[in-house]
Amino acid sequence: MLISGRCHCGNISFQLDWKTDPTEIPARACTCTFCTRHGGVWTSCPTGSLTVTVRHAEQVSRYAFGTCTADFHICTRCGVVPVVTSEIDGKLYAVVNVNTFENVEPSLLRRSSATLDEESGEERLERRQRNWIADVTYTARGA
């Protein structure tokens, strides 16, 4: 299944190749204040591949907070956060925001909340390596 997503203005877009035909897509609403305030509901397919395309790199802000181990890619034109990346041991991992999907039936989304406050930095990176998308291509035009 090929899932398309983008920020509101289309500056940040992605194609997620979900390698299997999902009967449901996990959609985790992080309970941290950033995700709560930005409507971040995240999913990943560890066996899938993700292509992120940014039309105007100068209109993307990367925000890292807390452990500073992940970058939230915020479009400065429309304010939407469609993707989060984390570089671990020189490899890029990512999750995508289901609220930015364009071609997925909402009934496929299995929504739940996730509280990650108690994780150590090491546990967080290990979880990302296990559960986040590991085949990520990120292309940004402009500067």
For the chain, give the secondary structure using H, E and C. CEEEEECCCCCEEEEEECCCCCCCEEEEEECCHHHHHHCCEEECCCCCEEEEEECCHHHEEEECCCCCCCEEEEECCCCCCCEEEEEECCEEEEEEEHHHECCCCHHHEEEEEECCCCCCHHHHHHHHHHHCECEEEEEECCC
Taking only the tens of pLDDT, the chain with its 143 residues reads 999 999 999 999 999 999 877 789 999 998 888 888 988 999 999 999 999 999 999 999 999 987 888 999 999 999 999 999 999 999 999 999 999 999 899 999 998 887 777 778 888 899 899 999 999 999 999 76
Q: Where are the domains of the chain?
A: 2-140
Q: What is the CATH number of domain 2-140?
A: 2.170.150.70
pTM recorded for the entire structure: 0.91
